[in-house]
Amino acid sequence: MNQPNQLIDAYLDGELTDQQAQQLRDYVDQSPEQAMAFVRAVCMDQALYDLNVVADEVESFENDDKYTEKRSIVGRVVTALAMAAVLALAAMIWLMQPEPRAAAPEAVVATTVAMLTDSTRAVFADGQAPVMLGGELPPGVLQLESGMVQVMFKSGAVVDLTGPCTFDMTESNRGRLINGVLEAYVPPAARGFTIDVGHTLRVIDLGTRFRLTADNQQVQVQVDEGHVQVLRLGPDGRPVESHTLAAASMASLDDDKLTFGEYVPTQRPRRYMDAVLQDQPAMYWPLNAESGQMAWVDMGPRMLDAAMNGGAGIIADGPLGESAVHFDGSNELAAGSRQRDLITGAPLTVETWLRLGEQTRPASIVLVSPGGRDFGWELGLIGRDEPLRLAFDLFGQHRYRFDQVKLDHDRWMHIAVALDDAGVARLYVDGKLRQSLTGPPPRQGEPNNAVVKIGGWAAGPFFRGDLAHLAIYDHALKVDRMRHHVDSSKSDTADQENH
């Protein structure tokens, strides 16, 4: 194999030998035109799938009566893809640059080890200089308070960081996770990519995709593809225990003890999550942690621990192919106590995926209140016999009873209630407007210290069923955005089926 196109195809498939990789480097180095041909091929390969998704959206919009209104949405998507292509171009040119030669001892050489290749509502720690997309990163610590960022190392390894997260970029193929959540994709060229977790664990990639979670109590490694080597480190930093993990396996380090188990690899619903984040929720609980008893919460400056109480637990069959939270009717998920900046009045939107169990009594799905029941709101189920109905209760003001909408059992439904500042509450099911109710003009909502309870409240009543992807907004979402969220979820589901 020596034709340039064959070499590029093999590169995209991850099948280059060392000799072929050198041939490809020589080809790219021969001229700017050949380098550009290589970059175009890589960008085209990365963009084809997303362009097909956009084409499908354009076709559906053209058949919609509101095509003119929605055209701007498509324009923003196409613009985003164009920006992504430009960023990919810059990243590939940057990756193909040779490593700097060793300098004389007296010389000072400015070096970089990575590039920021994606960012979603990222908030960095006070005093840390903001990083622009495409900006090169020197060795050092990234302290992410909230949001998500993606970093591409010089080696080609890519890590996604979810705040709050502290990550130290130490070398061009190495880093240290101090705390938080990290997901890594490592192409063949970056084999050997190494992540230290604190000073207790080392993960060496053997060509894979893996996920790391670290907090004060536990470190967890989950392998989606390929293999990793997991090393437990002693007090002197030297390995004292070594194991190789294959795909669909996991390891946990707790009190200097490694335990092992099975893990169901999932592909995160990126399109749905991106659609939610585009509408700037005040808070967002994906509720899809693969294991453990914690779920990361909001995308604002403050992240709240979501501690599952009682029998609440993780199930594998979530609405978008990932996991979700199950409630057995005697438990709740306390998403935080007396936390700031929660929306307690209109306008607002609450949105979630819901699967009803054998619910035979009223139940609270989510409640937000600064205390008592004179201010705040609750989304719940009302009625004593089947079928139960949804209700939205604006405490001390009005209860909206959506009595015309029957909820199905044992299937995932996308549910959203949008309350505007005129007192109109709209219920959407699976992206469609099902019922509108009018109440008195509500008091304007302001951020407030409040308690959040998911699946019940202190004295009950408790919810029986499953929940995923709960988001709260400080504005009333329109029907086109609801439809866009649901359409995005269909693309994620298709990805899961083809994965």
CB 133 within 8 A of CB 119: yes
Q: Could you tell me the CATH number of the domain that includes residue 347?
A: 2.60.120.200
Q: Is the pLDDT of residue 373 over 60?
A: no
Which of 315, 392, 391 minimizes the C-alpha distance to 355?
Answer: 315
Q: Are residues 350 and 466 in the same domain?
A: yes
Residue 204 maps to a domain: yes
Last residue of a domain, one of 47, 65, 96: 96
pLDDT at res. 457: 63
* Count of structural domains, the chain: 3
Residue 103 maps to a domain: no
Q: Are residues 163 and 202 in the same domain?
A: yes
**Maximal C-alpha separation, the chain:** 82
Q: Is the pLDDT of residue 432 over 90?
A: yes
Model confidence band, residue 207 (pLDDT cutoffs 50, 70, 90): confident
Tokens of 206: 């053997």
Q: Are residues 135 and 80 in the same domain?
A: no
Give the predicted TM-score (pTM) of the model.
0.55
Q: Are residues 300 and 318 in the same domain?
A: yes
Residue 465 maps to a domain: yes
Of residues 251 and 87, the one with the higher pLDDT is: 251
Mean pLDDT over each residue of the chain, to the nearest integer: 74
Residue 87 maps to a domain: yes
Distance CA 406, CA 78 (A): 38
Of residues 256 and 439, the one with the higher pLDDT is: 439
Residue 107 maps to a domain: no
Output the CA torsion sign for 277, 282, 287, 289: positive
Least confident of 13-27, 287-301, 455-469: 287-301
pLDDT at res. 57: 41
Distance CA 464, CA 362 (A): 10
Least confident of 113-117, 236-240, 289-293, 464-468: 289-293
Last residue of a domain, one of 262, 295, 318: 262
Which of 399, 339, 347 minimizes the C-alpha distance to 368?
Answer: 339
For 32, the domain range is 4-96
Q: How many CB atoms lie within 10 A of CB 103?
A: 10
pLDDT per position as a tens digit, 166-206: 999 999 999 999 988 898 988 888 889 999 998 889 999 98
Distance CA 222, CA 205 (A): 12
Burial of 464 (0-12, 13-18, 19+ CB in 10 A): buried
Q: Are residues 196 and 292 in the same domain?
A: no
Residue 43 maps to a domain: yes
Instruction: Spell out a b/e string for 115-140, using b for 16 or more CB atoms within 10 Å of the CB, else e.
Output: bbbebbbbbbeeeeeebebeebbeee
Q: Are residues 464 and 492 in the same domain?
A: yes
Q: 């280059």: which residue's tokens? A: 16
Last residue of a domain, one of 96, 130, 147: 96
Q: Are residues 239 and 286 in the same domain?
A: no
Distance CA 426, CA 420 (A): 9
Q: Are residues 88 and 158 in the same domain?
A: no
Model confidence band, residue 227 (pLDDT cutoffs 50, 70, 90): very high
pLDDT per position as a tens digit, 254-263: 888 899 988 7
Residue 102 maps to a domain: no
Q: Are residues 240 and 314 in the same domain?
A: no
DSSP H or E segment with residue 110 = none
Residue 106 maps to a domain: no
Q: Could you tell me the CATH number of the domain that includes residue 185?
A: 2.60.120.1440
Q: Are residues 19 and 51 in the same domain?
A: yes
Q: Are residues 191 and 236 in the same domain?
A: yes
Model confidence band, residue 58 (pLDDT cutoffs 50, 70, 90): very low
Q: Are residues 360 and 281 in the same domain?
A: yes
